[in-house]
Amino acid sequence: MATILSVSGSPSAHSRTARLLRHLDAGLASKGHHVVPFDVRTLPPEALLGADFAHPEIVRAKELFAQADAVMIGTPVYKAAYSGLLKSLLDLLPQYALAGKTVLPLATGGTTA
């Protein structure tokens, strides 16, 4: 079965985004897929904000993307956009990190606004 990287771009450990992803993770795992949960908020802030491509945790994150057959990316919506935390990570990935992969973007909002 497929290896699926489940990426939470929420800065909160107990967000609706994280709960949605973990719910989907369980369903995919029950179908025999290998699901790898990954919370961007666990990466060192100095590596993300300083664009430290060589930082071991950033290298590890890039390897997780490279090894995945599919990627689910969840984010809360802030001012009609995805989280800055998620953008910081995506900016550090190689240009074609998602090429040839199935990608499911998921966004959660807090209000009707």
Percentage, residues of the chain above pLDDT 70: 97
pLDDT at 43: 97
- Residue 103 pLDDT class (50, 70, 90 cuts): very high
The tokens for 40 are 């961007």
The tokens for 27 are 């369903």
Domain range for 41 is: 6-108
Residue 40, domain CATH: 3.40.50.360
Location of structure tokens 């800065």: 11
Q: Please tell me the pTM assigned to this model.
A: 0.93
Query: Is residue 1 situated within a structural domain?
Result: no
Q: What is the mean pLDDT of residues 86-100?
A: 96
- Residue 110 pLDDT class (50, 70, 90 cuts): confident
Q: Which amino acid is at 33?
A: H
pLDDT at 90: 96
Domains contained in the chain, number: 1
